[in-house]
């Protein structure tokens, strides 16, 4: 709930197994892909998160019912006929990924009216690449009353789209749109995140023709229609990296069950340089802190570089490492909101432009803290695990958008963590 808080009493080394959930950022575009067909799309290994509920609400009002299969809540069946092409402000403002319905709606029924996502605490986050790409595919795109109105007579037409920089969302939106376009679309400088390959693989199961999956050049031959598919969502690599930082900062050892090391990219090297042993193990990835933590630099980059979604958690780890670390954010311009909060816990972090210098301290001290975005919030939990005394993280609704049962998963490996309701 919105006013819930999380209380952490630090100092316990984590030990045991944590089950890694399906990836939020893979599930959201996969759900949007349900708009591309009137047949059933079944997704398994779906995480239980508020963002998934928001996407289900959005799809339902477009006419696509999202229903749980079985009683575990991890399998969703999507199906229905598009009855409404407007994505309202009330839903889109809650979750930026709502914008992923734009490409599929235009490709499928020739029109969409999608609210602009609006401000976001981690930077301006424009959507110009999504819109330019859609125009290149033949859509007419206008801004009208805070809404993007996009339409095409007949089908979208294949085109070569060269992205000036890498965008995960624009790649996904245009990949989905291109599957139903007339002719060949080439996406150059496409994002290569594992979530994009997961989406592409599901689209191929639905009948799409896509080459270059996993590379920065995707070639899509449009088809007339897509059909049914069943697809298992990949494990969440950011949740994996977050719990790796949690284990490391606590001085413990955990098995991250279901995680895939090949999806972690530069996170592995950064952790190793920091003195953390991280390796593939039976059933997942094992993580163990060796002797002490050492300062290690990290610069965020598109995959397979160090993920911006791991920057805050890694910074929390560096806050208690021996020596200094430079953490540079190149993807978002305002993604250091966790710094003042970490400093309130005794960290020594200075921000200069896009870089933060973290001078490690021997220990942090617990404090009431809060953060205004998902990864910043979880970084405060990570910090709390190594702090003396009690840390209270306020405003946990950000956490509930993207971390399934974080307090239960941590308590399950021996952390003193609990949710205080209300
Ligand atoms: C996705 C992830 C998010 C992650 C981000 C970067 C989802 C649901 N969210 O967000 O967790 O932090 O990738 O890995 O998968 N940009 C533009 N114009 C555009 C599109 C993007 O200028 O049209 C800029 C953004 O402001 C940002 C950069 O490009 O500075 C990268 O953004 P993008 O990769 O598009 O991020 P999202 O898809 O929004």
pLDDT (tens digit per residue) in 263-300: 999 999 999 999 999 999 999 999 999 989 999 999 99
Distance, in Å, from the CA atom of 364 to the CA atom of 277, rounded to the nearest integer, reads: 23
Strand (E) or helix (H) holding 281: strand 276-281
Task: Supply the residue whose CA is at minimum distance from atom 39 of ligand 1.
Answer: 169
> How confident is the model at residue 290, as a pLDDT?
92
Which ranges of the chain have pLDDT less than 70? 1-2, 118-124
Task: Supply the residue whose CA is at minimum distance from atom 35 of ligand 1.
Answer: 167
Q: How many CB atoms lie within 10 A of CB 408?
A: 12
Burial of 352 (0-12, 13-18, 19+ CB in 10 A): exposed
Question: Exactly one of 91, 109, 120, 324 is catalytic; which is it?
Answer: 120
Which pair of structure tokens corresponds to residue 369?
Answer: 């803290």
Task: Supply the residue whose CA is at minimum distance from atom 3 of ligand 1.
Answer: 309
> How confident is the model at residue 72, as a pLDDT?
83
> How confident is the model at residue 403, as a pLDDT?
95
CA 270 from centroid of its chain's CA atoms:
19
Helix (H, G, I), strand (E, B) or coil at 414: coil
> How confident is the model at residue 123, as a pLDDT?
57
> How confident is the model at residue 200, as a pLDDT?
98
Catalytic annotation present for 245: no
- End-to-end distance of the chain based on CA atoms, in angstroms? 7
Which residue reads 């605490």 in tokens? Answer: 121
Region class of 254: left (phi > 0), else alpha (psi between -120 and 50), else beta:
beta
Distance, in Å, from the CA atom of 157 to the CA atom of 220, rounded to the nearest integer, reads: 11
Distance, in Å, from the CA atom of 391 to the CA atom of 264, rounded to the nearest integer, reads: 29
CA distances from 265 to 160, 193, 194, 203, 291 (A): 28, 10, 10, 24, 24
Which pair of structure tokens corresponds to residue 56?
Answer: 């289900």
302 CA → ligand 1 middle, Å: 10
Distance, in Å, from the CA atom of 190 to the CA atom of 207, rounded to the nearest integer, reads: 21
Task: Supply the residue whose CA is at minimum distance from atom 21 of ligand 1.
Answer: 167
Ligand 1 pocket by C-beta < 6 Å: which residues? 25, 28, 96-97, 123-130, 167-170, 195, 308-309, 331-332
> How confident is the model at residue 333, as a pLDDT?
85
Strand 364-365, strand 387-388: pairing: parallel
Whether residue 304 has a cis bond before it, omega within 30° of 0 = yes
> How confident is the model at residue 118, as a pLDDT?
65
Most informative mutation of 114, 121, 125, 187 for ligand 1 (most atoms within 8 A of CB): 125
Distance, in Å, from the CA atom of 241 to the CA atom of 20, rounded to the nearest integer, reads: 10
Strand 15-19, strand 140-144: pairing: unpaired
17 CA → ligand 1 middle, Å: 32
> How confident is the model at residue 126, as a pLDDT?
87
Strands of 100-249 (E only): list them: 111-115, 140-144, 147-151, 160-162, 184-188, 209-211, 217-221, 229-232
Q: What angle do CA 166, 94, 376 make, to 5 degrees?
A: 65
CA 13 from centroid of its chain's CA atoms:
27
């Amino acid at each position: 709930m919105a006013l819930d808080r999380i209380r952490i009493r630090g100092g316990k080394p984590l030990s045991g197994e944590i089950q890694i959930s399906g990836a939020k950022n893979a599930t959201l575009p996969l759900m949007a892909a349900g708009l591309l067909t009137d047949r059933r799309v079944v997704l398994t290994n779906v995480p239980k998160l508020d963002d998934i509920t928001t996407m289900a609400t959005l799809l339902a009002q477009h006419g696509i019912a999202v229903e749980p299969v079985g009683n575990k809540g991890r399998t969703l069946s999507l199906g229905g006929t598009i009855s409404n092409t407007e994505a309202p402000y009330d839903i889109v403002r809650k979750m930026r990924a709502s914008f992923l319905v734009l490409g599929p709606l235009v490709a499928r029924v020739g029109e969409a009216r999608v609210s602009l996502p609006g401000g976001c605490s981690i930077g301006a986050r424009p959507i110009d690449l999504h819109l330019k790409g859609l125009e290149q595919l033949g859509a007419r795109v206008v801004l009208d009353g805070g809404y993007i109105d996009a339409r095409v007579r007949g089908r979208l037409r294949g085109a070569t789209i060269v992205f000036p920089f890498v965008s995960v969302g624009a790649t996904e939106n245009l990949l989905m749109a291109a599957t139903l376009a007339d002719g060949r679309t080439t996406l150059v400088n496409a994002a290569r995140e594992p979530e994009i390959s997961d989406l592409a693989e599901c689209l191929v199961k639905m009948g799409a023709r896509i080459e270059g999956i996993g590379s920065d050049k995707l070639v899509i031959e449009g088809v007339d229609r897509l059909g049914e598919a069943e697809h298992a969502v990949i494990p969440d690599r950011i949740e994996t990296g977050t719990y790796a930082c949690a284990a490391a900062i606590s001085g413990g050892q955990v098995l991250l069950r279901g995680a895939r090391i090949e999806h972690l990219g530069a996170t592995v090297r950064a952790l190793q340089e920091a003195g953390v042993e991280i390796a593939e193990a039976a059933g997942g990835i094992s993580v163990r802190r060796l002797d002490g933590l050492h300062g290690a630099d990290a610069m965020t980059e598109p995959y397979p570089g160090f993920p911006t979604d791991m920057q805050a958690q890694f910074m929390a780890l560096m806050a208690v490492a021996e020596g200094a670390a430079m953490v540079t954010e190149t993807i978002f311009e305002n993604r250091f909101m966790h710094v003042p909060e970490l400093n309130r816990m005794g960290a020594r972090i200075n921000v200069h432009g896009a870089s933060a210098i973290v001078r490690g301290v021997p220990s942090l001290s617990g404090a009431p803290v809060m953060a205004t975005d998902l990864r910043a919030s979880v970084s405060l939990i990570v910090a709390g695990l190594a702090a003396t005394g009690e840390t209270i993280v306020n405003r946990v609704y950000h956490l509930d958008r993207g971390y399934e049962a974080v307090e239960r998963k941590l308590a399950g490996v021996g952390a003193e963590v609990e949710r205080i309701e209300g």
